[in-house]
Chains A and B, each alone.
Chain A
Amino acid sequence: MLKDRKLVLLDDGRRNLLAGVAQLKRILDGEEGSFSAEQYIHLYTAIYDMCTQASPHLYSQQLYELYKEVFDDHNRSTVLPSLMEKHGEFLLREFVQSWEKHKLMAKWLNRFFNYMDRFYVPQKRLDPLEEVGRKSFVELVFDKLKSRVTSMVIGVIDDEREGQLIDRALLKNVLQVYVEVGGTSIDFYNVDFEQPFLKGTADYYSKKAQTWNFDKTCPEYMIKAEECIQKEKERAASYLHSTTEPKLFEDALFELIIRHEEEIMNNENYGCRVLLCEEKTDDLARMFRLFSVVKDGVLPISRIFQEHVNKEGMSLLKHATDAASREKDEKEIVGLLEQGFVKNAIELHDKYIACITNCFQDKTVFHKALRQAFEVFCNKDIAGCSSAELFAAYCDTIIRKGGSEKLSDEAVEEALDKVVKLLSYINDKDLFGEFYRKKLGKRLLFERNRNDEHEKMVLSKLKRFFGAVFTSKMEGMINDIALSKEHQSDFEEYISNNSELKSPVYLNVTVMTSGHWPNFKNYDINLPSDMVKYVEIFKVYYHSYKKQRKLTWIYSLGSCIVIGRFDAKPVELFLNTYQSALLLLFNEADRLSYSEIVTQLKLSDDDAVRVLHSLSCAKYKILNKEPSNISISPNDVFEFNSGFTPRSRRIKVPVPPAEEKKRVVEAVHKDRKCAIDASIVRIMKSRKVMSHQHLVSECLEQLNRTFKPDITAIKRSIESLIQKEYLRRDSETANTYRYVA
């Protein structure tokens, strides 16, 4: 049943509504209770009627305008004046309050005007009512007050920065107003608050930076800076809008740190370099943290780090060189250097790896800097020894110490681990391999306390780092020794089974596969018949089961135990084969001249001198020499010294070794030339045609694992291969080569 509706005239409607609005205001001010249901319906219906009445009593437009009028009037006459008279914190509170009230008012009015909002507004494509109210507030209240409020807020924040306690909740609410007042966008917040705030922050910190620079030293400055930045972060989380946080952080960081980057890093007393020298871990870590936020911010630090490590390394080098220059004996030099340089280099490396972990969060750029620094000074020669040789000598020392139980298994493994790491910095890896192989040979043949486990352990490490080709020969050497041991027991059985072969001489033979072992210089010698007999027996035995192999005897590596029957007591002499052969001559004659000895043994003069010296002019005088000076001349005569009385029953008579170092280096260089040739042929064979630059770079890459080839050497190789007609220059394209099948 349709009620008979009374026509609502405009003036009546207006009056009613304005009365309702006034009531609403009183309710909001707390002077009255809420609307009753009747009042609510009454107002709602009035509006409804006015919007649905037939023309000319359709008052939608007027109502729309009225709505706006209400807010404008309210804001102009009530809200703004009230705010204008407040100051300080009261202003802020009132500011927040006024927005809250506005929101409530809008909520209620929207309920009344709901019908219009749902139908008239969209129909006419007008701003929704909420927008209308908001815009009014913005135009008439917010815009008029924003600069005051903003500078107030910034002032309060600055107070907090200076250490005062502030009402954070209030600030949060104020800023919330800024956000909400923008409706869907936070432009108001950004433009009217954030921008001035950030600028203020920048100003604040730039001033601070100036003061601190005068008062505080660098590490303290950084501590303070870090503190402030932390606080800003916390502030942002606490009462600023979330989008402000990153910008704030960046700005503060910039003002405090980045702007002063140069000064901080390069400060004479506290800069990065100094911190590294003084190992100030905390300060370095802090510096890293602060700079790592900015892109590439830590690059300068890494560069200073690299320079520092380089400097340390070079000074290490210099110390070692100086120490070596005071030493005359070559063998001593190597010993000095490998302990002085290699050991210290390893310690340096450990120190700076720790530094990278502790201060620089293990970042790759620092590892790279470390590597580059080490590559520079680990490849320099020291006092005529290449670094490759020194590293090999160092490994040798460790393994031998491990064998003689001076170091535990774990210590050996640890030390070797560290050496292998540094090996990757050395360019001449193949040179290291050769020296190591030579030392390995010596160890396998002569060392009494040999630990095969350790040897195998090192090889497996080297294999992992440098590839199987690098270690295959060395593995072969170890196998040879093991095999020889087995065969030795077979040989002894063979002899014992043959009664006519038995004799007081006990022969132990080690068979080495020539490809695996480094070249040993072999001096020819005429052995005494007893020894020759046994050599022959072994030959027969060996050929009985390995027919095709050819045996070459290397007497220079052999050792003998000879019993010297001196007047006082018999003494066991540990000698090498040549010394033994020489002494055995004195079984037939008491006195022998130099020339007789040389003729009978068929020794070269060099060798004869060395052997005779060791027996007659060195620590133990087993032979008497006429004349009794300490140099061997061709006119000397030697006699068995029956009066020889050493303190112990067993003595070792060493012979000084011949010059080896140069040979190793030469051998390696020869191998390198072959390696380069082979690499070039391999590359050209697969590519057929290649430009010069590409060929060179491919070649470098292929060989990089073993050594760093000289560009000149590669060019030389190419030329020789052209000469040998493996390649030719391309006739049409310049700088290109063709493979000649």
Chain B
Amino acid sequence: MRRSSKKSSSSSAAAATAGPTRGVSKEIERIDQLFCTYADSSSSVIDPEGIEMLCSHLEVPHTDVRILMLAWKMGCEKQGYFTLDEWRTGLKALRADSISKLKKAFPELVQEVTRPSNFQDFYPYAFRYCLTEDKKKCIEIPVACELLNLVLGLQFHPQVDKLINYLKYQNEYKVINMDQWMGFLRFCNEINFPSLDNYDSDLAWPLILDNFVEWLREK
């Protein structure tokens, strides 16, 4: 967790002398208030409709990767729903208690997530987030393709492009599991593209990637 920045520390320092951290509790109040504007009154969580509204206010398409990053920051467990606790966690960490502050926090959030150490955590999180049911361990190919584009598309555009083509073309696998998902990231990070000269199918790469490389080489 980030330490409080100067802005609030000054106010909290002032408040500290006064008594309990009123500046901080004010922040929490505003965060909660913001939550209520989007939450469904009966279920007291932000549901997909609420998220859509939030996105339009943020001027970010709700399929944008930044929403996913926000979900990660919040530690959301269920796709499409934000609980109060999650909301609080996320916004507190971003030190945003209003829409405009939240909007401004995005660039820094993106930078934070793309840092390799965080990305290693964000990437599998993205996969788990898409598991729609409790017991499920795989996501369907079309969903996987979308997610790949979202999560890796910017950093590794050529690989992702070809990979998505292949996934749609092949019919051996109908779903992707976590092991294969992680394999994709390793592939993008380690293998030279488009030469593929350091790919060795005798190593422990998932079979789907072996087939992908073979398909690429044949073309």
Contacts and interface: CB of A to CB of B under 8 A. Distances in A.
Nearest to B202: A693
Contacts of A711: 202
Given A719-B179, A723-B177, A729-B179, A692 B204 contact: yes
Given A693-B202, A729-B179, A723 B207 contact: no
A722 interface: yes
Given A719-B179, A723-B179, A692 B203 contact: yes
Interface string B163-199: 0000000000000010110100000000000000000
A696 B205 CA distance: 13
B153 interface: no
B137 interface: yes
Nearest to B179: A722
A716 interface: yes
B206 to A, nearest CB: 6
Contact of A735 (B179, B180, B203, B210): B203
Contacts of B179: 719, 722-723, 729
A712 interface: yes
A710 to B, nearest CB: 11
Nearest to A728: B179
A719 B179 CA distance: 8
A715 B179 CA distance: 13
B34 to A, nearest CB: 38
Contact of B207 (A693, A716, A734, A736): A716
Contact of A729 (B202, B204, B210): B204
B203 A719 contact: no
A737 interface: yes
Contacts of A729: 179, 182, 204
A719 B207 contact: yes
A343 B203 CA distance: 42
Contacts of A716: 207
B204 A735 contact: yes
A723 B203 contact: no
A730 to B, nearest CB: 10
B207 A715 contact: yes
B185 to A, nearest CB: 12
A737 B137 contact: no
Contacts of B137: 723
B176 to A, nearest CB: 11
Contact of A737 (B177, B202, B204, B207): B204
Interface string B202-219: 111011001000000000
Interface in A638-692: 692
Nearest to A737: B204
A719 B206 contact: yes
Contacts of A693: 202-203
B57 to A, nearest CB: 40
Contacts of B207: 712, 715-716, 719
Interface residues of A, number: 16
A723 B180 CA distance: 10
Contact-residue size bin, chain B (C-beta under 8 Å from the other chain): 10 to 19
A253 B206 CA distance: 58
A482 to B, nearest CB: 47
Contacts of A734: 203-204
Contacts of B203: 692-693, 734-735
Contacts of A715: 206-207, 210
A722 to B, nearest CB: 5
A692 B206 CA distance: 11
Interface in A685-741: 692-693, 696, 711-712, 715-716, 718-719, 722-723, 729, 734-737
Contacts of A722: 179
A735 B206 CA distance: 11
Contacts of A712: 207, 210
Contacts of B180: 719
B198 to A, nearest CB: 12
Contacts of B204: 692, 718, 729, 734-737
Contacts of A696: 202
Interface string B124-150: 000000000000010000000000000
B65 to A, nearest CB: 25
Interface in B47-103: none
Contacts of B210: 712, 715
Nearest to A725: B137
Nearest to A722: B179
A737 B137 CA distance: 20
A692 B137 CA distance: 24
A146 B206 CA distance: 80
A254 to B, nearest CB: 44
B215 to A, nearest CB: 14
A734 B200 CA distance: 13
A8 B177 CA distance: 120
Interface string A332-353: 0000000000000000000000
A573 B182 CA distance: 68
B86 to A, nearest CB: 27
Which of A693, A716, A718, A719 gathers the greatest number of chain B CB atoms within 10 Å? A719
A76 to B, nearest CB: 82
A719 B202 CA distance: 14
A715 B182 CA distance: 16
A632 B193 CA distance: 63
Contacts of A718: 204
A696 B202 CA distance: 9
A583 to B, nearest CB: 50
Nearest to B177: A723
A484 to B, nearest CB: 46
A649 to B, nearest CB: 60
Contacts of B206: 715, 719
Which of B182, B204, B207 gathers the greatest number of chain A CB atoms within 10 Å? B204
Nearest to B178: A723
Nearest to A711: B202
Interface in A414-458: none
A401 to B, nearest CB: 46
Contacts of A737: 204
Nearest to B207: A715
B178 to A, nearest CB: 9
Interface string A596-628: 000000000000000000000000000000000
A734 B187 CA distance: 12
A716 B180 CA distance: 12
A737 B206 CA distance: 13
Nearest to A715: B207
A179 B182 CA distance: 82
A394 to B, nearest CB: 37
Contacts of A735: 203-204
Interface string A34-67: 0000000000000000000000000000000000
B84 to A, nearest CB: 34
A625 B137 CA distance: 59
Which of B179, B180, B182 gathers the greatest number of chain A CB atoms within 10 Å? B179
B108 to A, nearest CB: 29
B219 to A, nearest CB: 20
A696 B206 CA distance: 14
A719 B205 CA distance: 10
A661 B84 CA distance: 63
A213 B79 CA distance: 88
Contacts of B202: 692-693, 696, 711
Contacts of A692: 202-204
9 contacts: A692-B202, A715-B206, A715-B207, A719-B206, A723-B137, A723-B179, A729-B182, A735-B203, A737-B204
Given A692-B204, A715-B210, A736-B204, 17 more contacts: A693-B202, A693-B203, A711-B202, A712-B207, A712-B210, A715-B206, A716-B207, A718-B204, A719-B180, A719-B206, A722-B179, A723-B137, A723-B177, A729-B204, A734-B204, A735-B204, A737-B204
> Which 7 pairs, one residue from A and one from B, show the smallest C-beta to C-beta distance?
A692-B204, A735-B204, A735-B203, A715-B207, A722-B179, A723-B177, A716-B207
